[in-house]
Structure 1
C-alpha cells in the first residue's frame, strides 16, 4: 500500500517536475537518509491542486532536479478548530523520538478578534498546529483538534521545532505584526510528546531590531509596521546557534540571519547581514546526502507565481553564507 494519500486528492500527480514548474510558498525539504529521498513540503490549496480543502502536499526527488508529485500528506480535518477553507501555511517536518511531526499554521477567519490597533486589516484566529505520522510522507493526524499550540487569539505563525542543549523541545514562532505592529519571534517550551505547551513563551527579538528592516506603511495606516516571518534554527559545527528569518526592506522580501551571542535560545540575538534579497525569503537549510549545505526559499512573494530556488551554502565557524545560486 502506498504511503501517500490517494492520488485523486490532487490534480495530476506526475513525475518530471522541475522547481520552476511547482507553485510553492514557504518551502521545506526533509532529507530522508534511509530512502535517499528528498521530500519538499508546501501548502496545498483547492484552487491550485484540486483538493477539497486546504492542507499540505509533498513532492519527492532523488536528485533535487526532477520531482514527483504532488501528493497530499495532510488536510484540515472535520471537527478541528481551524476552517478547512481558510488556508494552511508554512508546513515543515521534523523527526523527533522516532516519529515525524508536521508543524503547519492554520486559520479561522470567522473567529474575529477585538481590534487592539488601528491597522485596517482583519484580525482572526491563527496559529501553528502539530500533527504526527510514522513516515515523513504522512498521512499526518493532528495531535489536538481544539486549538493550536499557542492560543489562537495571539495570531501566531511559522512555528518550528527546536531541541535545546538539555534535550528540551521548544516551538519557536512568529507573533503576527497585524496584532503586534512590530512583529516578534518568540519561543514556548513543549511537553516531551509535543502535545502541549510546558511553560510561558519567551521573547527572542523584534523585527525592528534588524538595521536593514525599513518597515512598511499599509494603506490606511499612519504608522510603520515590521514583519517577522519564517524562523528556522541551526547549530554550526563549532556550536554557534543561528536563526534564519525574513522581513521586508523597501517593500521587498529578504532572507536574513541572526545569531545568539550566548549560543542559547534565550539570546541575546544579534542581527547579521541578509543572505538573499530580490523579493526572496522564508527559507530553510538542509544537507544533501553528500553533506553539502543548501538553502531553499521562495521568490517572488505571492502565490501562485512564487517558486522554489536553491542556493549552495558554506558553513563557517560561526554562521552560514551563500556560495552561489544552484537552481
Structure 2
C-alpha cells in the first residue's frame, strides 16, 4: 500500500538494521472489517506494518494481542518501538476499564498509562513485561518513549495528560535497563503553555508525543505536539546542556501548518534524516514522511 493511502495515527518508524526493513505498529482502529475478520484479533490489538523503501507498506498482522486479564482494555495508542540489548520493546498507551481518576472536567475517567511490551522480533510476538502500567498508578499518562543517555542509562519520557492537570506536562523518569521498573521520582520538564506557539482559548493545553534525540554537539532536542489556532502542530524544545533533566528551551515557532502531529525523527538506512507523523488530525489522517533538517540552528520540515 502506498504511504499516501495508509490511514494511521501516531506513526513511529523503526529502521531495523537486522532485516533491512522499516516497521511501524498501530491499533486496529483504521482497519477495514475485512482486514479485522482476516486476522481475528479485533481493534483493541496492535498490528505491524513493514516497508523496504518507506513508500510502500505491507500490513503484516497482529503484533500484540492482549491476554484476557491484561489491565489495558482500550486505546492501544502510540506504540513506539525500540531495540535494547537485542530485544525489541514497544511502549504503548492503554486505558483501564473502570473510571477511577478525577479529571479537570470534574468527572471520573478510566486510568490511562503506558505499558512495556517485549519480543525477539520486530513484527510480532509481543508480550507485556508486567500486567501493570510503567507510568505512575493514578495518573493519566500517555505517549511514552525511551531515551538512552550517553552513559547507557535509560529514561522514560511521557506526558501527564491535560485531562488530569489542565496544562499538560512532559515528564522524564529513569527506568531500569531491562525496562521492568522506574527509578527515582518523575520529573516535570515543562508544561504545554510554556511554549510560545501553543495558543488555545480553552484554558487547557495538550502535550503529546515527546521524542528526544541528541545532536552532534551533545545537546538534546525533543519533538512534541500540541494545538495552536485549532490545528495540531509539531514543536521543538531543546536542552543545551545535553541533560534530559536540565532546562528545556522552546523554539518560538512550530514546525508545520498541515494540521499534523505526533511526530518522531529517524534516520534512513542511507543516513538521511526523516520525520514521520499523521496529517491531518482527523478521521482522514494518513502517514506523512518528509525530509527533516537543521540549518542555521533552525529545524525544517521539507515542504513547510
Instruction: Tell me the SS of whatever aligns to 2:163.
Output: helix
Q: Which residue of 2 aligns with 1:11?
A: none
Aligned partners of 2:102 and 2:164 also within 8 Å:
no
Residue 126 in structure 1 maps to residue 126 in structure 2: no
1:21 aligns with 2:1: no
- The alpha carbon displacement at 1:122 in A equals 4.8
For residue 230 of structure 1, report the CA deviation from its aligned partner: 0.7
1:138 counterpart (124, 128, 149): 124
Shift of 1:289: 1.0
- Return structure 1 stretches of 4+ with deviation > 6 angstroms: none
**The 10-residue stretch of structure 1 (31-40 or 154-163) with the greater mean CA deviation from structure 2:** 31-40
Shift of 1:82: 1.4
Q: Which runs of 5+ in 1 are unaligned?
A: 1-16, 218-223
CA distance in 2, matches of 1:216, 1:202: 27
Structure 1 residue 30 corresponds to structure 2 residue 4: no
**Relative to 1, partners in 2 of residues 1:148 and 1:162: Cα closer, same or farther, differing over 3 Å?**
same
Aligned-residue offset at 1:53: 4.8
* Alignment CA distance shift 1:317-1:95 (3 Å): farther
Cα distance change, pair 69–169 in 1 and its aligned pair in 2 (3 A): same
Aligned to 2:27: 43
Q: Which among 274, 297, 310 is matched to residue 277 of structure 2?
A: 297
Q: How many angstroms apart in 2 are the aligned matches of 1:133 and 1:319?
A: 37
Matches within 5 A, 1:63-82: 63-82=53-72
CA deviations on 1:262-314 (whole Å, 9 max, x unpaired) are 221012101112111221100111111111000111012134x2111111112
Residues in 1 aligned to 2:124 and 2:2: alpha-carbon distance in whole angstroms: 23
Query: Who is 2:211 aligned against?
Result: 232
Shift of 1:173: 0.3
Structure 2 counterparts to residues 57-206 of structure 1, below 5 A: 57-83=47-73, 86-115=74-103, 117=104, 119=105, 122-145=108-131, 147-206=132-191
- Structure 2 segments unaligned to the other structure (5+ residues): none
Task: Give the TM-score normalised by structure 1.
Answer: 0.86
Q: Secondary structure at the match of 1:324?
A: coil
